[in-house]
């Protein structure tokens, strides 16, 4: 570290205080006793006492993102000469500890706090201040020589830094956890689709028998749905790289130099390797959280697609004797404490529960997003908490569903062939040849007399030669193609 002539000696002290009891800290309302073993100060302690509601803590990802924000701001202020270099570099050093997670135990606040996120912003400011003070051998709580407001929070407001940290945390979670997991699951579905491209099965519409398709075609539908969902999650996540930083209190940038937001965003881009930019309209960035709302809506949409896929698979794997049993799902664990040998579609059930959670969370996010009043949305904590939770559990669940269900799934080809042989809806191929009414008579005859379609067709005057030429299951999955006999019916 460069050392200024008047800079104090920077000590090499590991994180931790080793103190007991309490120490006295102050804020604008007066003095507060805080635990001596922690770095936080008076405002953090007040929040802990007034908002100790439930077990929902502000996600650590928000604080890690704050570490980047505070470091970028300190770098800009240092380069501009607003902070002595030793102060700016010391703050940046501690910000690295924040981002790394080394100070996670110092961020204890609850989600249910001030809607602006001010208490979490001050929690970060106080911890950085006191850790810096420790590193120069000063007295914790003295705010000297690093003040939480004057130095760590220089040129900032909670109103622009908290949504900035929200966007960074949300984008990071989506891009590193959710999107890669969605892509891995999509690729696994595509692989199964290719593997089973020549296996003909009976389709179902309205939960009733329909015309044939291949298993590969069915699974290509699943993969395509995830491709669409993934594209929307990525689109909305990329939009989170636009940041509120520089708007300070109400979007005007009061107490921040001209171009401050743009400079900080440029440093953030260098620190993270992501193309962050300061919002061109800070009033939109601070008065709304619409980009976060759209981002969570994309997660909800992905959950809707995943729900359909998982639900199909648990029904296709139902049985083993009295269900559909087209799919043979991996036996990951015993399914019953009372019924020996029972195996349940547990990964599908877990996926459904995760999807229900995300879909429900979207109501909270949408309602909170709508509550932006005038120049500030004051429902930020619930939005970022839900976004990060939804993005995390969707990503984790996709990997588990892929690993423990999709990749190990097999087909019961004998059951699939039995369904083909007994299907009545393949009469649809006869309809253009013999007419809809006669085809309808044949289908009802087959159902009423428990016959195969072929038996019913022959009984109603269709020649065997005509039937065998027209009712070709694989051909029905690729109508209009010249070569329709290359595939096989499951046997």
Q: Is residue 320 part of a domain?
A: yes
Among 365, 390, 413, the domain boundary falls at 413
Q: Is residue 379 part of a domain?
A: yes
What DSSP assignment string belongs to 227-250?
A: HHHHHHHHHHHHGGGEE-TT-TTT
Parts of the chain with a pLDDT under 70: 1-5, 481-491
Report, as residue numbers or ranges, the catalytic residues: 206, 336
**Claim to verify: residue 386 and residue 474 sit in the same structural domain:** no
Q: Which residue's entry shows tokens 């051909």?
A: 475
**Claim to verify: residue 49 and residue 110 sit in the same structural domain:** yes
- Report helix, strand or coil for 205: strand
Q: Is residue 438 part of a domain?
A: yes
Distances in Å between the Cα of 257 and the Cα atoms of 154, 242, 246, 254, 264 are: 10, 19, 8, 8, 11
Q: What order of strands is seen across the sheet that includes strand 488-489?
A: 208-214, 199-205, 488-489
Among 361, 391, 413, the domain boundary falls at 413
The residue range of the domain holding 52 is: 34-154
Q: Is residue 307 part of a domain?
A: yes
**Claim to verify: residue 305 and residue 372 sit in the same structural domain:** yes
Q: Is residue 341 part of a domain?
A: yes
Strands 208-214, 242-243: pairing is unpaired
How many Cβ atoms sit within 10 Å of the Cβ of residue 14?
A: 6
Two tokens, residue 398:
């996709």
Look at residue 484 in the predicted model and tell me its pLDDT.
40
Two tokens, residue 22:
């309490």
Closest CA to 412 of 201, 221, 191: 201
Q: What are phi and psi of 12, to 5 degrees?
A: -100, 80
Our CA angle for 214, 216, 219, nearest 5°, is: 115
Our count of domains for the chain comes to 3
List the CATH number of the domain containing 476.
1.10.40.30
Among 413, 440, 459, the domain boundary falls at 413
**Claim to verify: residue 431 and residue 462 sit in the same structural domain:** yes
Look at residue 6 in the predicted model and tell me its pLDDT.
83
Distances in Å between the Cα of 262 and the Cα atoms of 69, 133, 282 are: 13, 30, 12
Two tokens, residue 61:
């990802």
Residues linked to residue 31 through DSSP beta bridges, in sequence order? 26
Two tokens, residue 296:
């969570």
Look at residue 213 in the predicted model and tell me its pLDDT.
97
Q: Is residue 94 part of a domain?
A: yes
Q: Is residue 131 part of a domain?
A: yes
**Claim to verify: residue 336 and residue 449 sit in the same structural domain:** no
**Claim to verify: residue 322 and residue 452 sit in the same structural domain:** no
Look at residue 487 in the predicted model and tell me its pLDDT.
41
Q: Is residue 430 part of a domain?
A: yes
Residues linked to residue 34 through DSSP beta bridges, in sequence order? 23
CB neighbour class for 198 (10 Å; exposed up to 12, middle 13-18, buried from 19)? middle
Two tokens, residue 227:
């491709």
**Claim to verify: residue 322 and residue 209 sit in the same structural domain:** yes
Q: Which residue's entry shows tokens 């195996």?
A: 343
Closest CA to 244 of 267, 260, 233: 260
Q: Which residue's entry shows tokens 């830094």?
A: 161
- Separation of alpha carbons 454 and 427, rounded Å: 9
Rounded to 10 deg, the angle between the 290-316 and 346-370 helix axes is 160
- Separation of alpha carbons 26 and 461, rounded Å: 97
Decide: 110 and 51 in contact? Cβ < 8 Å.
Answer: yes
**Claim to verify: residue 40 and residue 81 sit in the same structural domain:** yes
| Beta strands, E only, 331-379 | 372-373, 376-377
Closest CA to 384 of 214, 191, 244: 244
Longest dimension (CA), the chain: 106
Strands 199-205, 488-489: pairing is parallel
Rounded to 10 deg, the angle between the 158-173 and 290-316 helix axes is 30
Write 316-321 long-range contacts (CB < 8 A, 24+): 317/345, 317/348, 317/409, 318/345
**Claim to verify: residue 435 and residue 389 sit in the same structural domain:** no
**Claim to verify: residue 188 and residue 325 sit in the same structural domain:** yes
Q: What are phi and psi of 124, to 5 degrees?
A: -65, -45
Q: Is the peptide bond before 329 cis (omega within 30 degrees of 0)?
A: no
């Amino acid at each position: 570290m460069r050392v200024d002539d008047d800079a104090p000696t920077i000590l090499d002290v590991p994180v931790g205080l080793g103190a007991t009891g309490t120490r006295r800290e102050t804020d604008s309302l007066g003095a507060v006793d805080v635990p001596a073993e922690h770095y936080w100060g008076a405002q953090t302690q007040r929040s802990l006492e007034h908002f100790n509601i439930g077990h929902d803590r502000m996600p650590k990802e928000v604080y890690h993102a704050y570490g980047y924000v505070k470091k970028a701001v300190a770098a800009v202020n240092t380069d501009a000469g607003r902070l002595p270099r030793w102060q700016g570099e010391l703050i940046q050093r501690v910000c690295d500890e924040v981002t790394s997670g080394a100070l996670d135990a110092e961020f204890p606040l609850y989600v249910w706090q001030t809607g602006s996120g001010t208490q979490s912003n001050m929690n970060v400011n106080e911890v950085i201040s006191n850790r810096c003070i420790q590193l120069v051998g000063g007295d914790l709580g003295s705010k000297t020589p690093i003040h939480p407001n004057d130095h760590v929070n220089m040129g900032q407001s909670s109103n622009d830094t908290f949504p900035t940290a929200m966007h960074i945390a949300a984008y990071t979670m989506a891009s590193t956890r959710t999107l890669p997991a969605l892509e891995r699951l999509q690729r696994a579905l595509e692989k199964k689709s290719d593997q089973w491209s020549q296996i003909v099965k009976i389709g179902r519409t309205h939960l009733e028998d329909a015309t044939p398709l291949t298993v590969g075609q069915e699974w290509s539908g699943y993969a395509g749905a995830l491709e669409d969902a993934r594209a929307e999650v990525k689109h909305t996540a990329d939009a989170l790289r636009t940041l509120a930083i520089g708007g300070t209190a109400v979007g005007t940038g009061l107490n921040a130099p001209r171009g401050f937001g743009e400079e900080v965003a440029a440093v953030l881009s260098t620190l993270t390797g992501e193309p962050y930019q300061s919002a061109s309209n800070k009033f939109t960035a601070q008065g709304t959280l619409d980009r976060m709302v759209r981002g969570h809506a994309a997660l909800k949409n992905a959950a809707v697609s995943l729900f359909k896929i998982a639900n199909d698979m648990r029904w296709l794997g139902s049985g083993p004797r009295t269900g559909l049993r087209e799919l043979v799902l991996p036996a990951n664990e015993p399914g019953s404490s009372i019924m020996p040998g029972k195996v349940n579609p547990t990964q599908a059930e877990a996926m459904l529960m995760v999807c229900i959670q995300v879909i429900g969370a979207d109501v909270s996010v949408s309602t909170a997003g709508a509550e932006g009043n005038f120049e500030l949305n004051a429902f930020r904590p619930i939005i970022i908490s839900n976004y990060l939770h939804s993005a995390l559990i969707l990503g984790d669940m996709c990997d588990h569903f892929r690993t423990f269900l999709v990749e190990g799934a097999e087909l019961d080809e004998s059951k699939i062939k039995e369904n083909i042989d007994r299907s009545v809806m393949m009469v649809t191929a006869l309809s253009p040849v013999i007419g809809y009414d006669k085809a309808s008579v044949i289908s009802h005859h087959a159902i009423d007399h428990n016959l195969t379609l072929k038996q019913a067709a022959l009984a109603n005057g269709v020649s065997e030669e005509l039937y065998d030429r027209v009712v070709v299951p694989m051909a029905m999955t690729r109508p209009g193609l010249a070569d329709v006999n290359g595939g096989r019916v499951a046997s």
